[in-house]
Amino acid sequence: MGFDDRRVALLYDTQSNFGDLTDFDAGKFGAGDPGTRGSRVSSHVTVKTTLEIVELRDVEVVVRGAREETPPILQSIDFQVAQGESVGIVGGSGSGKSTLLRLIAGVVSEGLHLQRGAVRVLGKNIVDSSAQEREEMYGKSLALVAQSLGESMTPHLTVLGHFRDTVGKDVAPDRVLRSLTEVGLDGDGYLRRFPHQLSGGERQRVLLALALVRSPKLLLLDEPTSALDVSIAADVLKTIKDLQARHGFALVCVSHDLGVVRQIADRLVVMAQGQIVESGETTKVLRQPGNSYTQKLVDSIPKLESRVRQIDMNHGDILLESRDLTISRGRTTRAVDSLSFEIRKGEVVGIIGESGSGKSSLLSAICGLVPIDSGDLRFGNGQDLATTMKRRSPDLLSSIQMVFQNPDDSLNPKCSVAQSLGRYTNASRDDMVAVLSAVGLDQKFLSRQPNEMSGGEKQRVALARALLASPELLLLDEITSALDVTVQAAVLKTL
């Protein structure tokens, strides 16, 4: 079955971190656009202190063994961070921002090579340092909080166990409690909790406490709020700024969310095609972009007051019906309590709510991943919807497709994109190329593995796979959380 653009019912679980960026009156960019390939924009901004924590000079990173015409992953990068400074790095999927952050941490991603330039952290060439020297720097000199909350914590270790693993087995519980209190987690009950017993916001705060427990001089953040709802994200960002004011560490934050960097960064660096195309004071760059790509990022921010074309396909037959649906989370907590609703063919329904409100549990129950305690689910012509995937027919499984928030949990790391797209759909190559184009990816992605793609690119592949099944009902769980604003706009328009 091939990809087509017929209308489907769509159930969408979303959050947003744009804050009050919609109030921006972005100025016109100048005729002299520095965003063309081959140009160089220094990220240096004069600051009060002269002590540079991070210094990159003329850095170029290439794909190891690539042909001459293959563009560098990073090129002509001049980048500095001063003591106590906060720098935000933004850019689209594949712009090189995460590669740059990992490089600052002394990690050259697999398959890449530092062709030229120097990367110095606290005066040391961190890339050329031995593994032992880098290990000694981690925690004491620098700390990295990675994007994936699930992959950053060991499932079988308690919070106290994570601190013992980081600091040492003899770490005093009182010291751990002080660290947790500093990030807003009060009470010794957290010490005995495992990662699955923490909310997304709590896990992010534990990771912050782990990163800062050894008082590093540099904190690196990779998409710190992508897994959090807006209210929790705002609290986490405030905590980070308060901690920086208290301890004076330098901060580098990579994010696709302009609202995040506006709240956390004094200076903004914009990346495109492996280059720094603009840099300056955050508020000034966002209010008066000097580069066409930055202007495009700002223009792509959705505005609540803007008009959206009303979809006229919400008066069809009932496609999904719920009556008194109840779903439990654990033995004592109800994720969904006596919920009744109807979704019609062609209708678009949005679900909003904070972490723990039951949004994802509802979607998981509809697609058969989570059992229901009581109530009825009916699909199509009124047939009872089996509550587990094993009891559903292949046609029914194809009719209801779900795209998860974290594509790493749903894409097989050993399969190429072509294999993932064709595994259950028998799609032709032309079908695959068409659906990839619909989500903003070209056919060269067919041969790529998940580890060769950015988070945003993987999310678009997951969406393409769901669309290939030509579903009647499409369930989307935070699908834009890993996408930059320009790609968000394109994907939502496609849907």
In three-state form (DSSP H/G/I as H, E/B as E, the rest C), the secondary structure along 304-352 is CCCCCCCCCCCCCCEEEEEEEEEEEECCCEEEEEEEEEEEECCCEEEEC
Q: Superfamily for 9-16+308-317+346-371+384-494?
A: P-loop containing nucleotide triphosphate hydrolases (3.40.50.300)
| Residue 216 burial by Cβ neighbours in a 10 Å radius (0-12, 13-18, 19+) | buried
Percent of the chain with pLDDT over 70: 84
Confidence of residue 307 (pLDDT cuts 50, 70, 90): low
Neighbouring residues of 381: CB distance < 8 A, sequence distance ≥ 6: none
Q: Rounded to an integer, what distance in angstroms lies between the CA atom of residue 204 and that of residue 436?
A: 33
pLDDT at 25 exceeding the cut of 60: no
Class of domain 24-141+216-299: alpha beta
* Residue pLDDT, tens place only, 408-458: 778 898 999 999 998 877 889 999 999 999 888 999 999 998 888 877 788
Nearest Cα to 264, choosing from 19, 58, 25?
19
Q: Which residue in the block uniquely carries the two structure tokens 């004076």?
A: 248
Backbone angles phi, psi at 60, to 5 degrees: -135, 125
Which residue matches tokens 């039951």? Answer: 358
How far, in Å, CA of 279 to CA of 277, rounded?
Answer: 7
* H/E run at residue 475: strand 473-477
Mean per-residue pLDDT over the chain, rounded: 82
Q: Are 227 and 481 in contact (CB under 8 A)?
A: yes
Q: To the nearest whole percent, how much of the chain has pLDDT over 90? A: 33
Same topology between domain 9-16+308-317+346-371+384-494 and domain 24-141+216-299 = yes
Q: How high is the pLDDT of residue 168?
A: 86
Would you state the pLDDT for residue 19?
Answer: 46
> What is the spatial distance between Cα 348 and Cα 474, in angstroms, rounded to a whole number?
10
The whole-angstrom separation of Cα 494 and Cα 435 is: 10
Task: Give the torsion through C-alpha atoms of 472, 476, 480, 483, to 10 deg.
Answer: -70
DSSP 473: E
Domain ranges of the chain: 9-16+308-317+346-371+384-494, 24-141+216-299
Per-residue confidence band for 169, with pLDDT thresholds at 50, 70 and 90: confident
What residues contact 223, with CB distance under 8 A and at least 6 apart?
Answer: 147, 254, 255, 256, 257, 455, 482
- What is the C-alpha to C-alpha distance for residues 184 and 248, in angstroms, rounded to an integer? 19
In the predicted structure, residue 1 carries a pLDDT above the cut 80: no
Average pLDDT over residues 155-171: 90
Residue 18 has pLDDT above 50, yes or no: no
| pLDDT in the model for residue 22 | 42
pLDDT reading at 364 higher than 80: yes
Question: What type of residue is 356?
Answer: G
- Identify the three-state secondary structure at position 158: coil
Structure tokens at 86: 């906060």
Q: Are 17 and 259 in contact (CB under 8 A)?
A: yes
Closest by CA to 106, choosing from 84, 135, 82, is 135
* 255, pLDDT greater than 50: yes
Q: Per mean pLDDT, which range of 70-84, 284-298, 313-327 is the poorest? A: 313-327
Rg (CA), the chain: 24
Determine the average pLDDT of the residues in 284-292: 93
- Identify whether the C-beta of residue 73 lies closer than 8 Å to the C-beta of residue 62: yes
Predicted TM-score (pTM) of the model is: 0.71
Instruction: Output the pLDDT for position 44.
Output: 42
* Backbone dihedral angles phi then psi of residue 347, each to the nearest 5 degrees: -85, 150
Q: 39 falls in which pLDDT band (50, 70, 90)?
A: very low
